[in-house]
Every structure is written in structure tokens, then in C-alpha cells.
């Protein structure tokens, strides 16, 4: 059990920036990530940053879709 805690602590200390994390999450949303980049991400990205970036990106996507639907409906194009 102590070994898994050490691995988690090491993963949280990874050096990748928030920008690199958001870039990796954005490419993952489109599903176009090379396997070499995936391996690099596993070694560099902080898992907590990945979770946070995924939640923020998903919320932005849903908010964008809601905005787009409301705009189309209010403009009268959808009637």
C-alpha cells in the first residue's frame, strides 16, 4: 500500500504546465492523439491537472452548445 501512495505522490509532482495539460485534453476531446504523445503525457502530466482540465473543458463545451441552441432558437431560424 505504501508503494502506491509513493507513486501517487510522484504523479502529482510531475512538471507539466496547465497549458500543456489543456492542450492534451483538447486533442483528446477530438480523439486525435498519437501514441507517442500519449506516452509522453503519461510521464509528464499531473493527473490532478488532467481531471481539472477535463471538467473545465466539458463544462465549456456544454455551455457552448447551450448558447448555440438558444441563439438559433431565438433568431427564428429553427421555426
DSSP-derived letter for residue 31 is T
List, in sequence order, the alpha helices (H) in the chain.
Answer: 2-12, 18-30, 35-44, 47-75
Give 34-54 pLDDT, tens digit per residue.
Answer: 778 778 877 888 888 888 899
Q: Does residue 1 carry a pLDDT above 60?
A: no
Whether the pLDDT of residue 72 is over 70: the answer is yes
User: How far is residue 25's CA from residue 13's CA, in Å, rounded to a whole number?
Assistant: 19
Which 8-state DSSP code applies to residue 77?
T
Q: Where exactly are the structural domains of the chain? A: 2-75
HSE of 41, CA atoms in CB hemisphere, 13 A: 21
d(CA 26, CA 21): 9
Higher pLDDT, 15 or 66: 66
Residue 19 pLDDT > 60? yes
Q: Which carries the bigger pLDDT value, residue 15 or residue 36?
A: 36
Amino acid at each position: 500500500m505504501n508503494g502506491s501512495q509513493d507513486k501517487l505522490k510522484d504523479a502529482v509532482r510531475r512538471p507539466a504546465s496547465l497549458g500543456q495539460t489543456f492542450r492534451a485534453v483538447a486533442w483528446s476531446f477530438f480523439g486525435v492523439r498519437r501514441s507517442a504523445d500519449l506516452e509522453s503525457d503519461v510521464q509528464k502530466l499531473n493527473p490532478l491537472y488532467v481531471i481539472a482540465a477535463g471538467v473545465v473543458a466539458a463544462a465549456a463545451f456544454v455551455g457552448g452548445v447551450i448558447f448555440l441552441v438558444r441563439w438559433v432558437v431565438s433568431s427564428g431560424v429553427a421555426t
